[in-house]
Structure 1
Amino acid sequence: MNLKRITAVVGAFTLITSLFIAGCGSNTTNNDKVWRVGTDATYAPFGFKEKNTGKLDGFDIDIITAIAKEEGAEVDIQNLNFDALLPALQSNTLDIAISDMTISEERAKSVDFSNPYYIAGSGLVVNTDNTNITSFKDLEGKRIGVSIGSTGAEIAGKIPNADVRQFNLIIDAFLELQNRGVDVVINDTPVNEFYVANKGRGIAKVVGEDYDAAPLGIAVKKGNTELLDKINSGLAKIKENGKYREIYKKWFGKEPPVEQ
């Protein structure tokens, strides 16, 4: 093989290698633009599985999808139990968690939260024939159903002599209420109202005033400021361009509250 032939072969090999490396770099860039999002799809209307297709849908799904679009990213949404979401962030299994999650001091010790995207109070659900429970003042000594790791669980833990029963899924708590295994379920009011208007129609009712309303946030791993900044940026954009209002009206049937 002469020198020219050797030079040509080496040049071709170098070009192929360069293209391969460039291609690998391109794939890495694309992967960086896919946000791994976790949600618990049992908190309708925030997140749920469509009955016929099994597709994830809901307010939270639409919100994080719209935010990602504004920031030039896509979302890969995974369905996990609520109490598994924060550990999944900490172990880098997820990038983001959005699931009707109240911003609390305790949770903020392990994850960072976005600016609030919804304000939700906690309320009570009882069977339609229950006349003994009309407010949080009536819960002492009662059997209370909550989902593990939820704000409802935190509230129930403060009620004197209560028999608190925790469930992996909030729908299981509602089912236990229907079966008379608990007297009341404590959960976020929008989820309660959706349940009573749909699967719980004629079976359960919402009673009492909301427990202290609190903001919901989108969680990321502690210290992931780059992603958090993108989420806050995207959230501000969809609030400004009207997309947030559109999504809010779609799922709650009313205008979003005016921000102070």
Structure 2
Amino acid sequence: MPNFVTYKKLLLGPLLLCLSLTAAAQQATPIRCGVATGFPPYQFDQQGDTQGFDADMARLIFKRLGMPFQFKQQPWDLVFNELRFGNIEVIAGMEINDLRTKFFDFTRPYYHRYDVIFILEDNQEITKVEDLHNELVSGDRHSYIETHWKELGTLYNFRIIGTQTKAQSMELLKAGKIEAAIMPKAVGLYLAQQMEVGVKILDNPDPGSPVAFAVKKGNIELLAKIDDALNSFIEEGEIERLYQKWFPLHGTDNRHDAR
């Protein structure tokens, strides 16, 4: 007949196991998620808080997966290289292109971005792209527009300058120090509203770049988990609701790819 000590062991065993598993979960190494600092309304820093559509998507994903995570927010080039060299596990909101697929694996796209050319609203002298030849234009490295101009052999007809952030580009445009700025449509509209500057779109040739979560090449396990969560959010309409939060006035250009 089992004695009291035996019963005590039987009762304490499952409890100790449960406590051990809880402690292990609490000590699990957080997934490090890279985001950019100056790319509103997608990814940006607001008084030390990580904000934006892609940041909110990351929060939803890892909450659904029950996985601890932390943002690693830096200028874009640093974020890109952090994933490439394995210092972080994932990047939220990376545009997919042929160069990047050499280094990273991507989830399904959950929306598209569209590069456009912004000029000041009251600019009557610039009416077509050719009017920008030999004029200062703020560029957006690896953008569809600059890649397209390079393919056409016209890239060097423009005096392309670089800036550290899209906000700097919009400030230069507002001050009249450049004639045009290339940036994603939603970014330009957001910044123009924040800075109270009137802008208009000169050209919008971009068919749209798919945007997804990126992991280092070969990290199939994490990729599959994020993909499953994305599929659920698309089916539940959660991405659409989040889109409406960040892009209430910007039309349908950036909506998720639910196909």
CA-atom RMSD in angstroms? 2.9
Letter in 2 for 1:234: A
Letter in 2 for 1:186: I
Structure 1 segment 51-200 matched on structure 2, within 5 A = 53-99=47-93, 101-148=94-141, 151=144, 154-155=147-148, 159-199=155-195
> Does the aligned pair in 1 maintain the 2:240–2:256 contact within 8 Å?
no
Q: Render the CA deviation track for 1:137-166: whole Å, top value 9, x for unaligned.
A: 544333221245555654565524211111
TM-score, L = length of structure 1: 0.78
Q: Secondary structure at the match of 1:198?
A: helix
Tell me the equivalent position of 1:215.
210
Gaps of 5+ in 2: 1-16
> Does the aligned pair in 2 maintain the 1:144–1:156 contact within 8 Å?
no
Looking at structure 2, the residues matched to 257 and 244 of structure 1 have their Cα atoms a distance apart, in angstroms, of 7
Tell me the equivalent position of 1:259.
258
1:239 paired with 2:237, answer: no
> Does the aligned pair in 2 maintain the 1:113–1:219 contact within 8 Å?
yes
Q: Secondary structure at the match of 2:114?
A: strand
Looking at structure 1, the residues matched to 68 and 237 of structure 2 have their Cα atoms a distance apart, in angstroms, of 20
Judged with a 3 Å threshold, the aligned counterparts in structure 2 of structure 1 residues 208 and 183 are, in CA distance, closer, same or farther, namely: same
> Does the aligned pair in 1 maintain the 2:170–2:192 contact within 8 Å?
no
Judged with a 3 Å threshold, the aligned counterparts in structure 2 of structure 1 residues 133 and 102 are, in CA distance, closer, same or farther, namely: farther
Judged with a 3 Å threshold, the aligned counterparts in structure 2 of structure 1 residues 127 and 186 are, in CA distance, closer, same or farther, namely: same
Judged with a 3 Å threshold, the aligned counterparts in structure 2 of structure 1 residues 228 and 70 are, in CA distance, closer, same or farther, namely: same
Looking at structure 2, the residues matched to 258 and 116 of structure 1 have their Cα atoms a distance apart, in angstroms, of 6
Gaps of 5+ in 1: 1-18
State the 1:258 CA deviation.
7.1
State the 1:208 CA deviation.
2.8
State the 1:249 CA deviation.
1.2
> Does the aligned pair in 1 maintain the 2:111–2:257 contact within 8 Å?
no
Q: Secondary structure at the match of 1:105?
A: coil
Q: Secondary structure at the match of 2:208?
A: strand
Q: Render the CA deviation track for 1:171-208: whole Å, top value 9, x for unaligned.
A: 12222222333221111111111122222x23433333
Looking at structure 2, the residues matched to 193 and 43 of structure 1 have their Cα atoms a distance apart, in angstroms, of 12
Tell me the equivalent position of 2:44.
48
Looking at structure 1, the residues matched to 45 and 257 of structure 2 have their Cα atoms a distance apart, in angstroms, of 30
Judged with a 3 Å threshold, the aligned counterparts in structure 2 of structure 1 residues 197 and 106 are, in CA distance, closer, same or farther, namely: same
State the 1:77 CA deviation.
1.0
Looking at structure 1, the residues matched to 111 and 130 of structure 2 have their Cα atoms a distance apart, in angstroms, of 26
1:248 paired with 2:243, answer: yes
Judged with a 3 Å threshold, the aligned counterparts in structure 2 of structure 1 residues 127 and 26 are, in CA distance, closer, same or farther, namely: same
> Does the aligned pair in 1 maintain the 2:111–2:256 contact within 8 Å?
no
